[in-house]
Amino acid sequence: MNRHGSVLSGILFAILATAFFGVLDTTTKYISTAVPAMMALWFRFLFQAVATAAWVLPRRGRLAWRTRQPGYQLLRGALMLGCSLLAFTSLKYMPVGEFTAIVMVAPLAITVLAATVLHEKVSALRWLLVTGGFIGTLIIIRPGGETFTWASLLPLCLVGGSAWFQVLTSKLARTENPLTVHLYTGWTGALIATVALPFVWVTLPDPRLWLLLCLAGAAGAVSHFLLIVAYQRAPASTLVPYLYAQIAFGMLGGWLVFSHVPDAWALAGIAMIAVCGALGAWLTVRESRVVPQSPEV
């Protein structure tokens, strides 16, 4: 496959991944009122762990477990479980589309981490995009408004966790095989959730909930696998703008399953986040094509 075809296939895999993420979020919201959070996450991570092992181990054997950064591997899995717990709780109280839009602020939040933690120089344009994304978030949650509750703050906590998760993923990507990272993440989350399982297990009132748990597990495993394949075929800077398709899939899921359509203010906030995020990705592409004269990000 030539380079052009590889990039196009990478974009296609990235968009398919966002579709499955939309399925995961919609299914999670549906089951969140009947299934304890940690019980659902145990099932979701166990499904991902087993499916990943079934795919990777026959192909790589013991090499699949070889890592130079075992501590970071375990930390990434624990961080993903924590982010998933925040997502589960957020979706219990928030519409899927609005939740997805707020979470997509995470790439912009990495700019803040780069400036405050890594002490990198950040351009004025990037700060403007971060401000625009934050304003879009405020428009969606509307502090002090009738629709604002304490649960509206949970996605903001998730954004912070997701930003650290992406920074850690970027660090591991320098030395680790992506399938090994995926394998460790699934099993770390599954084992931690297993410890909590005896304290949260309940008998599900509707057998169909088991099918939905299977669907959530499958959607989570497939979405992350497709994203890994996408990053293997195309640069991250090329793929990031297409990841904002997840907002559209989230809104579609919310409409199809819950008959929810965001109001005009929420749509305006969603549009601001999507535009600022996409422009941030475009800026990354533009800067990567120019020999940097200063350590701006």
The CA distance from 15 to 19, in Å, is 6
Residue linked to tokens 């966002």: 18
Q: What does the pLDDT read at residue 37?
A: 92
Domain ranges (residues) in the chain: 3-288
State the pLDDT at residue 121.
Answer: 74
- Residue 191: its pLDDT value, please? 95
**Residue 239 near residue 63, CB atoms below 8 Å:** no
Neighbours of 134 (CB within 10 A): 19
Say what the pLDDT of residue 84 is. Answer: 92
d(CA 170, CA 179): 14
From CA 218, how far away is CA 46, in angstroms rounded? 10
Radius of gyration of the chain (CA): 19
235 in the Ramachandran plot: left (φ > 0), alpha (ψ -120 to 50) or beta?
beta
CA angle, residues 71, 77, 83, in degrees to nearest 5:
130
Tens digit of each residue's pLDDT, the chain (297 residues): 556 567 788 889 989 999 999 999 999 999 998 899 999 999 989 988 998 899 889 988 888 999 989 999 999 999 999 999 999 999 998 889 888 888 888 777 777 776 776 666 777 887 888 888 888 888 887 776 566 677 778 888 888 888 888 778 777 877 888 888 889 999 999 999 999 999 999 988 888 999 999 999 899 888 888 887 887 787 766 777 788 888 889 999 999 998 998 888 889 988 888 888 878 777 766 665 554 444 443
> 129-186: per-residue pLDDT in tens?
888 888 888 888 777 656 667 777 888 888 888 888 877 877 787 788 888 888 999 9
